[in-house]
Amino acid sequence: MLVAVLLVVAACAPQVPPPPPTNKIPSKVISEGGMRFLVYGLKFPGTSQDFKMREGEALFWLPLSIVQGVRLSGPELDNYRQAEVVLTSGERFRGELFVGQLIEGTTDVGYWNLSLKEVRSLVMGEE
């Protein structure tokens, strides 16, 4: 009898509504060929999630989490291309971006990847 009473009390207790769904905004990638891709979970394969850049002789790494967008231009030379990087803070960097790696994620048709050598621009989404 006690178990039945506890079950009734538990069933009548107010239930917490589930949290509202989060709106995921995909990253937008445009290839050199003009193809546009909407990519969820955009990242680099492996554990390092940094853009490698150089300016003159100086090398520096920008974490993917602080990058808002990248625009690449010019030809590839020694696995680097001219790039303008916009950070989430609004700061802009100009330099050479290392393009000898892949970016990957998921599109509406499944797993997706593309070499940074083939990217014209990308705008990071919100996830």
- The string of pLDDT tens digits covering residues 34-55 is 999 999 999 999 888 999 999 9
Torsional sign, CA 59, 64, 70, 76: positive
Domains of the chain by residue range:
22-123
Q: How confident is residue 89, by pLDDT bands cut at 50, 70 and 90?
A: very high
pTM of the model: 0.79
Question: DSSP 3-state assignment of 58?
Answer: strand
Biggest alpha carbon distance in the chain? 80
